[in-house]
Chain A
Amino acid sequence: MLQLCDVSSHYGDLEALRSVTLGVGANQIASIVGSNGAGKTTLVNTISGVLTCSSGTISFLGKPLEKAPPHKIVEEGLVQVPEGRLLFPYMSVLENLELGAFSNRSRNALNRSLDEVFGYFPKLRDRRKQLAGTLSGGEQQMVAIGRGLMARPKLLMLDEPSLGLSPLIVSEVFETIRRIHMEGISVLLIEQNILQCLLISDKAYVLENGSVVLQGTGQELLANPRVKEAYLGL
């Protein structure tokens, strides 16, 4: 479904990604793990077109996307839920969600999508007039994921959804991700909190210093002591 071949990209001067090759199949949950500075956010921003990739190819459902502008990529159904949520703080929950359905493809199904999102997050229905900037961390994460779902994604990328959240909320988030997957949406998960992540992943890649150093199924990597090494530099 999503295939990266030999993708390199720069962040300022830094060669943040070096020849990354990875793929996400249809109906899969794939994850990318790695410590800080490994290049995870650069990777997901390169896929989304926010950063340009200096070499390599990115194809989604057979279409080459490495040169496409960000709004085209969203139009194709490749949607990112950014790190740190990045909600529109002075707009209401409802407005944030509506904006999620900005692309032409999703705009027609707006009301249906809205119902679905409230189905995932019933608490949001009550808070829909509230300004997004005033919500708690967990609620904001729900809005962020909901916003991503409003775009009717075929592949949803989540960048560190557990960042700054309490363990209880983190479990809820991962549960939601599983449910989304069960509805037929493929997921690409970027995480530092690798336990929960690897538990639900079909496929996983370990990123270190901009390169893929390990890959395998979620279970395989959980059992692999090298993963812990890569994180803690042992």
Chain B
Amino acid sequence: MRSNFTWLSDFIMGHKKSFLAAAFLAILCIPLLPQNPFYQDLLIQVFFWATLASAWNLLGGFAGQISLGHAAFFGIGAYTSTILYLTFGLSPWIGMFAGAGLSVSVALIVGLPCFRLSSHFFALATLAFAEVLRLLASYWRGLTNGGVGLLIPHQVAFKNFVFEGKLAYSYVILAMLLGIFFVSYFLKNSRLGYSLVALREDQNAAESLGVNTNRTKMISLVISVFFTSLVGTFYAQYYAFIDPDIVFTSQISIQLALLSIIGGVGTILGPIIGATFLIPLDVFLRGWLGGVFSGMNFVIYGFVLICAVRYFPYGIFGWLKMRSDKFLTKSALVFSSPGAGVPVPDANEPCRQSTRCEKPLMMVNSISKRFGGLHAVEDLSFSIHEGEILGLIGPNGAGKTTVFNLISGFITPHSGSIHFEGRDITSLGHAHRFCKQGIGRTFQIVKPFQSMTVLENIMVGGFNRVRDVEKAREEALGIVERIHLSHHAMTQSSHLTLANRKRLELGRALATRPRLLLLDEVMAGLNPKETEDIIAVIRSLPKEGITILMIEHVMKAVMALSDRVMVISSGIKIVEGLPEHITKDKRVIDAYLGEAYNATAV
């Protein structure tokens, strides 16, 4: 369905490079536009807040770690460069980076342990941290001159980072804005960017796909804090005066978050749009409402904030995007690369040709897990052989999902050991390490990354083995065809039907190139046709060298697919063997249907 604007978007796409160059030049000319100091200052403020908001957004919007204490790093930047300049005459240009370095170090020391905290408490910790710095700065008069503040003398010189007039400042802050913009842009489209969105959407799913969530958070923390600190130095140089209540105040922390939220959290343009709209509005309102209402702007901010998170969670950018999506269309079909099958697992595949092999891929020895008084899994031992499909069944509450969580790294056993490909992986720790070893899994309640397309979801899995974005996309295209989702490759995963989401979950796990794939109730909720379809896909996997352990309740599927079946009840293995024998085994029937059932049944 072509519409009026597709010709425009096609035209732009065709001449992409020239348009970008022209746009870049146009942006560089913006600081030249305002003629009088008032508007020059306004422009500087817009750039300034846009940069701060973008930096916050990298941590809060992209990585999902909400900080209420970014003023801490703003202040560290401002004070470090200023103190070094005033005390040692060190050029603020260098001091700026010293400040950034200090900010980053502090952020890592304090921030890293705090990542463990839940969102509310992380925000609280950052709030407290900024407050501590404010109080310390007030108190430590010897270093910071306390509440009196520090004044930067107006000695115009490039190396002093002091300029005549506002134009030069304008360019400096524009450079910083462009800096964070490009960094964000390249980040978003890189492997790290995918990890960030995955992490924000669903941390567990991300870990299961091999995303090192802690390292990802750390990287976005470092970049976010780095830029925030740089802007702090800029502030000191531009306004030439700082004191603890100005630079460490929570009002800065809140404002820069607010701009991102209103503009569109988690998007690159969002914070910039937020700043562009709100800062001039704020300045004009203050001027218009006069001295009596000088405090009013924050009251309005408060209202806006409450309404924004409730009614416009996607911000101005999100709203604009929704309107423009109606005009622009995306093509539904994607051309897949020819001959692409499921990428084969690398290294050590001696049993690829035969589907049955006696060497155990995984050996679980006497693992136990207790939750409080409940023995979820008790002294459980089993092995999985390469190339087989092992079914795991058992009544409700038997501990099947706990077993999965134990062998995929989400929880650690109290006792016992787990060996995979001969290596002891019992105390590996984080789930993403298990994925790197070659253990992939799906979840009982499917967790697609809602804001990503089907293809992008699968790419996140692909990044487990592949670093290059293009390669990951290629492989993902292959998988998408394998799981019969080619028609939906560019569809946002939140719009998929349940059956398709299950397919996506499977495809995403396949993209990590697992040697062992754990399937958790894949068939639940599917109609017979959909079930048949997925059974066919799963059946073809061992030939590619993928061993399967599946939890299932749909007995027909278990019988159709499994080479062997293991039955668990109340955390203990009752029996294991061939499917036909299991269903006739008295112990199994007792566990499911109640003892002595056979005695009364026909």
Closest to B375 in A: A164
B18 CB–A CB distance under 8 Å: no
Binds B, one of A13-21, A65-73, A108-116: A13-21
CB atoms of A233 and B593 under 8 A apart: no
Q: Which of B525, B556, B559, B600 has the most CB of A within 10 A?
A: B525
Q: How far is the CA of A222 from the CA of B553 in the complex (A)?
A: 22
Contact B593 A195 (CB under 8 A): yes
Known contacts being A36-B395, A195-B593, is A14 close to B553, with CB within 8 Å?
no
Q: Does any Cβ of A come within 8 Å of B279's Cβ?
A: no
- Distance from A71 Cβ to chain B, minimum over Cβ atoms (Å): 26
Which residues of B sit under 8 angstroms from A222, Cβ to Cβ? 600-601
B555 within 8 A of A: yes
A197 to B596, CA, bound (A): 13
Q: Is the CB of A195 within 8 A of B600?
A: yes
A192 CA to B393 CA in the complex, in Å?
14
Report how far A223 CA is from B602 CA in the complex, Å: 6
User: Is B594 a contact partner of A234 (Cβ separation < 8 A)?
Assistant: no
Instruction: Determine which of A37, A193, A194 lies in contact with B554 in the assembled complex, contact meaning CB atoms within 8 Å.
Output: A37
Contact yes or no, A232 B555, CB < 8 A = yes
Q: With A14-B498, A37-B553, A84-B397 in contact, is A164–B570 under 8 Å at CB?
A: yes
Encode A188-201 as 1/0 by CB contact (under 8 A) with B.
00001111110000
> CB of A62 within 8 A of chain B?
no
Contacts of B557 in A (CB 8 A): 233
Q: How far is the CB of A165 from chain B (nearest CB, A)?
A: 10
Residues in B with CB closer than 8 Å to A38 are: 553
Is B117 in the interface zone, CB < 8 Å from A? no
Min CB distance, A170 to chain B, in Å? 8
Q: Which residues of A contact B593 (CB under 8 A)?
A: 192-195, 228, 231
Q: How many Å from the CB of A42 to the closest CB on chain B?
A: 11
Shortest C-beta distance, A74 to chain B (Å), equals: 25
Q: Name B579's closest neighbour in chain A (CB-CB).
A: A233
Within 8 A of A (CB), among B392-413: 395-397
What B residues does A98 contact at CB under 8 A? none
Interface string of B427-469 (1 = CB under 8 A from A): 0000000000000000001100000000000000000000000
B window 541-570: CB within 8 A of A: 553-559, 570
A162 / chain B contacts, CB cutoff of 8 Å? 594
With A and B bound together, what is the CA distance between A13 and B502 in angstroms? 11
Q: How far is the CA of A193 from the CA of B593 in the complex (A)?
A: 5
Give min CB distance, B369 to chain A, whole Å. 15
Give per-residue flags for B261-272: 1 if the beta carbon is below 8 A from chain A beta carbons, else 0.
Answer: 000000000000
Tell yes or no: A163 within 8 A of B by CB. yes
User: A45 in the interface, Cβ–Cβ < 8 Å?
Assistant: no
B140 within 8 A of A: no
Could you tell me the distance between the alpha carbons of A223 and B600 in the complex, rounded to whole angstroms? 8
Cα–Cα distance between A231 and B594 once the two chains are bound (Å) = 12
Q: How many A-B residue pairs have CB under 8 A?
A: 75
B525→A15 contact, CB < 8 A: yes
B158 within 8 A of A: no
Contact A195 B445 (CB under 8 A): no
Are A193 and B594 neighbours in the complex by a CB distance under 8 Å?
A: yes
Q: Is B583 an interface residue, CB under 8 A from the partner?
A: yes
Q: Return chain B residues, CB-CB under 8 Å to A16.
A: 525
Q: Please give the number of chain A residues whose Cβ is less than 8 angstroms from any Cβ of chain B in the complex.
A: 31
Cβ–Cβ < 8 Å partners of A194 in chain B:
593-594, 597
**Cβ of B583 and Cβ of A234 under 8 Å apart?**
yes
- Assess whether B524 is in contact with A37, with CB atoms less than 8 Å apart: yes
Q: A195-B593, A195-B600, A232-B592 in contact; A13/B501 too (CB < 8 A)?
A: yes
Say yes or no: is B475 at the interface (Cβ < 8 Å to chain A).
no
Residues of A within 8 A of B596 (CB): 195
Chain B residues closer than 8 Å to A225, beta-carbon distance: 601-602
Q: B424 on the interface (CB 8 Å rule)?
A: no
Contacts of A197 in B (CB 8 A): 594
Which residue of chain A has the shortest Cβ distance to B444 in the bound complex? Answer: A37
The distance in angstroms between the C-alpha atoms of A14 and B445, with both chains bound, is 10
Residue contact A35 to B597, C-beta cutoff 8 Å: no
List residues of chain A with CB within 8 A of the CB of B600: 195, 222
Check if B505 is an interface residue, CB within 8 A of chain A: no
B501 cross-chain contacts in A, Cβ below 8 A: 13
Once bound together, how far apart are the Cα atoms of A16 and B526, in whole Å? 10
Residues of A within 8 A of B498 (CB): 13-14
Q: Please give, as numbers and ranges, the residues of chain A lying within 8 Å of B397 by CB-CB distance.
A: 84, 163-164
With a cutoff of 8 Å between Cβ atoms, the chain A residues found around residue B446 in the complex are 13
Complex CA gap A164/B557 in Å reads 26
Are the C-beta atoms of B524 and A14 separated by less than 8 Å?
yes
Q: In the complex, what residue of chain B is closest to A39 when comparing beta carbons?
A: B525
Rounded to whole angstroms, the CA-CA distance of A194 and B594 in the bound complex is: 6
CA distance A197 to B570 in the complex (A): 20
Q: Does B521 contact A (CB under 8 A)?
A: yes
Contacts of B595 in A (CB 8 A): 167, 195
Bound-state Cα–Cα, A162 to B594, Å? 10
Which of A14, A133, A163 contacts B525, CB < 8 Å? Answer: A14
| Cα-based distance from A30 to B136 in the complex (angstroms) | 70
Q: In this complex, which of A16, A35, A233, A234 has the most chain B Cβ atoms within 10 angstroms of its Cβ?
A: A233
**Roughly how many angstroms separate A163 CA and B398 CA in the complex, as a whole number?**
9
B515 to chain A, nearest CB (A): 28
Bound form: Cα–Cα A232–B372 in Å: 33
- A165–B395 CA distance with the chains assembled, in angstroms: 13
CA gap between A38 and B523 in the complex, in Å: 12
Residues of A within 8 A of B445 (CB): 12
Instruction: Tell me the complex Cα distance, A147–B424, Å.
Output: 47
Interface string of A43-59 (1 = CB under 8 A from B): 00000000000000000
Contact across chains for B556 and A231 when beta carbons are under 8 A apart: no
Q: Which residue from B583, B589, B592 sits with its C-beta under 8 Å from A35?
A: B592
**A192 with B556: CB separation less than 8 A:** no
- Nearest CB in chain B: distance from A100 CB, A: 23
Residue of B nearest to A210 (CB): B525
CB-contact partner of B395 in A15, A192, A233, under 8 A: A192
| Contact across chains for B559 and A233 when beta carbons are under 8 A apart | yes
Cα A233 to Cα B556 in complex, Å, equals 5
A220, B503: Cα distance in complex, Å:
40
List chain B residues, Cβ under 8 A from A167: 595
One digit per residue, 1 when the CB lies within 8 angstroms of any chain B CB and 0 when it does not, for chain A 177-212 equals: 000000000000000111111000000000001000
Closest to A166 in B: B570
Decide yes or no: A234 and B396 within 8 Å by CB, A195-B597, A195-B600, A222-B601 being known contacts: no
A72 to B304, CA, bound (A): 37
CB distance from A22 to the nearest CB of B (A): 21
Nearest neighbor of A164 in chain B, beta-carbon distance? B397
What are 14 A-B interface contacts by the 8 Å CB criterion?
Answer: A13-B498, A13-B525, A14-B524, A35-B592, A36-B396, A36-B553, A37-B521, A193-B594, A195-B593, A195-B595, A228-B597, A232-B555, A233-B557, A234-B559
Q: When A and B form their complex, which 10 residue pairs have the shortest distance between CB atoms, in order from nearest?
A: A233-B555, A195-B594, A193-B594, A36-B553, A14-B525, A37-B553, A233-B556, A195-B597, A232-B583, A13-B498
Measured CB to CB, the residues of A under 8 A from B are 12-16, 35-38, 84, 133, 160, 162-164, 167, 192-197, 209, 222-223, 225, 228, 231-234
Given A15-B525, A195-B594: 8 more A-B contacts, CB < 8 Å: A14-B525, A16-B525, A37-B553, A164-B570, A192-B592, A193-B594, A228-B589, A234-B555
